[in-house]
Structure 1
Amino acid sequence: MFRSLWFDGRLRAVLAQVLIACGFAGVVGWLFWNARHNLMQRGIAMGFDFLGEAARFPISEHLLAYQPTDSYGRAFAVGLANTLYISLLVIVVSTVLGFLLALARRSRHPLVAAAATVYLEAIRNTPLVVQLLFWYSVVTLNLPAPRQALEPLPGVFLSVRGLFFPSVSWTGDLVPLAWAAGAAVVLLGARFVYKRRHRAAGARGWPWLALAAGLLLWGAWQGQVGLQSQAPVLRGLNFLGGASFTPEFSALLLGLTLYSAAFSGEIIRSGIAAVPRGQWEAARSLGLRPWTTLRWVVVPQALRIIVPPMTSQYLSIIKNTTLALAVGYPDLSFVITTTINQTGQAIEGIAILMAVYLSISLSVSLFMNLYNRRINRTQRP
């Protein structure tokens, strides 16, 4: 009996996995016990009780409301919101800029192609932290004072205090509009599910869209919702009103975007180049213009090659936000580092940081894999 079990390859594989898992759990347990023992000898208690204590440090930029009297848990939430905000902006802008760089690299104009090549090679072969420090020094040292601020566009001002631009805010009661928006989403979702289940390919979608738009207009009318714009105005030594990007945020956004766009551009260019030349020639024989060919023929096929490496690029962007420490932007790593310095809870802080970034990375990977599976799915006849 034991001889037959031993020669069972499947059983041996399961047994090997169990032994490896037990060994890994034993190593983790020993590390935990050793760290706990050493910390207790130094009078440092382990646990996450400190999350409810007052943080007692300011956060210069925050999307969520925050005061130094708030808890460490609230400070972590503020840092996480800042991290997600900068990551989303960099991903969107660098993808668009990368697509333009890919087209420039493939341009037949020698000057455009050479300029794109020089940019890509220079950015990709320079450390990111050096670029961040360069842009931070440019923003903080070489820009004029607010009274002599640059105005590249009407109402947009660039000075040593940051970037100031007009803002748009809602007025009125947003509750009816929120309910109407929810009803519109449910309506369009029901229409999508019905179309998928009943294969109603020829069903017209504009009546549903018109009904959803009508719901939104009704909600806006009920709450007297409107839009109000506010432009920044120079008052004293700084601008008041409108929206603004601080020098730290501007340097981080500019540095990460330009750096990530170089890698995204090469990924997109390789995906476009992988599409067979015959596809271009076939589209040209049908009389399609180059831009129409690129949009409807080449890019849909290139996405199957572009999406997998772009997933890794997006994950790199999220992880590169930890370099915000170099320019002083208060992201999650900045908040956790400050917390560790104040409380001494290094293991807990690093564990939270690892868990958060792991969750974000797995979520991005899941979304991109689902999208990749959708565009690679073979259509049924």
Structure 2
Amino acid sequence: MNRHGDEAFHRREKSRKKKAFIWQFILLAALLVIFGSFAFNISSNLAARNIHSGFGFLSESAGFELGESLISFSSTESYGRAFLAGLLNTIRVAAVSIITATVLGIIVGLMRLSKHPLLKFLGAAHVEFYRNIPLIVQLLLIYLLITELLPDSTEALHFGSWALLSKAGLQYAVPTDFHAAAAASAVSAILCFIFCRRTFIKTYTGLISSTLALGCALLAGGAVWFAAGIIFGWSKPELQGFAIEGGSSLSPEFLALWIGLTLFTSSAIAEIIRAGVLAVPKGQWNAALSLGMTQMETVSYVIFPQALKLAVPPLASQYMNLTKNSSLAVVVGYPDLVSIGNSTINLNGQALEVIVIIMSVYLVLNLIISVLMNKVNALVTRGAR
């Protein structure tokens, strides 16, 4: 009877899977027909209006310049290279803003948990001010402060001989052989992270070992960077007539976008950190302290790992929101992906293709962030058990 019962069960299960597959196939075919119909109608309408379609324009000459780019670009180069430059600018400002917003958010979140009334008030003021003002307004305000209140290049604020701050942006000293120093710093940081994590993981949990290894990697990268400057010399910014020569620079547009994204996102991250810490039962504090742990050990080994277990998923959402919010760069003139897309539409009128490119890029970037944060979440969850 059991054998016959198992056979009947398998037949029913096989029949159910077959029906499910058939319905999924029908749904997929219907969606393909619908999207195919949309594509055909769009193509017909564009052809009727003598509007070119397709992505062949990416190989054509762009005809416009970029204010700043991580790669060389001129107006005679293709739209494809312009979009690549815009993508790199978007990744640049998003990556830097994620780091600074996280650090500032953790600090402000801990300030909100402080028993000191002044620190608690300042933390709450930071959160309420930046969280309740639209980001676009903050960007315009910050850009106005940079371009109107800072002195001209001829009267720039000096930070020793290492940096100059003016309406032209922030100019700072870099090693003479910039690219070699950057490559050496990156390689040393990666190697140091791998070595230190393998060493620390023998003593600490996955989360703590990774954090310590990351700190060592940053120190190693910074040490190599300064060593390269000492060995090969420094290129320092200097005022030459009405212009500042030497070193490297951050434009006013980049600074405005970076500061705005950092302040706006840090207010949300601060609340996530505060909520995560408050969600840990007070008994965990008492148990850790009763075992003889210090306050720092209690936070590092008991409270913070459990708080991160709750904080990482909403942090992923904030990082993705920050990446999408970077598209507001267009309001301050920073040449990101959307800004270049707008220039392309104005020149060749192929709005549909440009919008598809922009949507696809942001989709891929956020999927990458999601995958990375899922790995972090798995690490945190495993380390907090």
Residue 33 of structure 2 is matched in structure 1 by 26
CA contact (8 A) 2:151 2:166 kept: yes
Aligned residue type for 1:361: N
Residue 338 of structure 1 is matched in structure 2 by 343
Per-residue deviation, 1:128: 0.6
Residue 154 of structure 2 is matched in structure 1 by 147
CA contact (8 A) 2:94 2:326 kept: yes
Q: Identity of aligned pairs, percent? A: 39
Given candidates 261, 264, 286, the residue that maps to 1:256 is 261
CA contact (8 A) 1:161 1:247 kept: yes
Given candidates 77, 81, 97, the residue that maps to 1:74 is 81
CA contact (8 A) 1:155 1:231 kept: yes
Per-residue deviation, 1:115: 1.5
C-alpha deviations, 1:301-357, integer Å up to 9, x for none?
211111111011110011001000010000011111111111111111111111111
CA contact (8 A) 2:161 2:236 kept: no
Matches for 1:13-162 after TM superposition, within 5 Å: 13-151=20-158, 155-162=162-169
Matches for 1:1-381 after TM superposition, within 5 Å: 10-151=17-158, 155-170=162-177, 226-377=231-382
| Cα distance in 2, alignment partners of residues 168 and 151 from structure 1 | 19
- SS of 1:59's equivalent? coil
Distance 1:327 1:228, change over 3 A: same
Residue 7 of structure 2 is matched in structure 1 by none
| Cα distance in 2, alignment partners of residues 42 and 181 from structure 1 | 57
- SS of 2:75's equivalent? coil
CA contact (8 A) 2:62 2:344 kept: yes
| Cα distance in 2, alignment partners of residues 119 and 36 from structure 1 | 50
Q: What is the TM-score of this pair, normalised by structure 2?
A: 0.81
| Cα distance in 1, alignment partners of residues 51 and 179 from structure 2 | 51
Per-residue deviation, 1:22: 2.7
Aligned residue type for 2:122: A
Distance 1:336 1:158, change over 3 A: same
C-alpha deviations, 1:130-184, integer Å up to 9, x for none?
110110111111111122222356632221111122223437988x979x97996
| Cα distance in 1, alignment partners of residues 127 and 190 from structure 2 | 46
Aligned residue type for 1:336: G
Per-residue deviation, 1:264: 0.8
Residue 208 of structure 2 is matched in structure 1 by none
Distance 1:261 1:154, change over 3 A: farther
Give the RMSD, CA atoms, in angstroms. Answer: 3.5
| Cα distance in 2, alignment partners of residues 25 and 250 from structure 1 | 45
- SS of 2:54's equivalent? coil
CA contact (8 A) 1:101 1:116 kept: yes
Count of matched residue pairs: 352
Aligned residue type for 2:104: L
Q: Which runs of 5+ in 2 are unaligned?
A: 1-10, 203-215
| Cα distance in 2, alignment partners of residues 226 and 47 from structure 1 | 51
Distance 1:183 1:379, change over 3 A: closer
Q: What is the TM-score of this pair, normalised by structure 1?
A: 0.82
Aligned residue type for 2:64: F
| Cα distance in 2, alignment partners of residues 125 and 66 from structure 1 | 39
| Cα distance in 2, alignment partners of residues 172 and 291 from structure 1 | 40
| Cα distance in 1, alignment partners of residues 67 and 156 from structure 2 | 22
Q: Which runs of 5+ in 1 are unaligned?
A: 196-208
Distance 1:33 1:319, change over 3 A: same
- SS of 1:377's equivalent? helix
Aligned residue type for 2:89: N
CA contact (8 A) 2:237 2:244 kept: yes
Aligned residue type for 2:356: A
| Cα distance in 2, alignment partners of residues 97 and 172 from structure 1 | 29
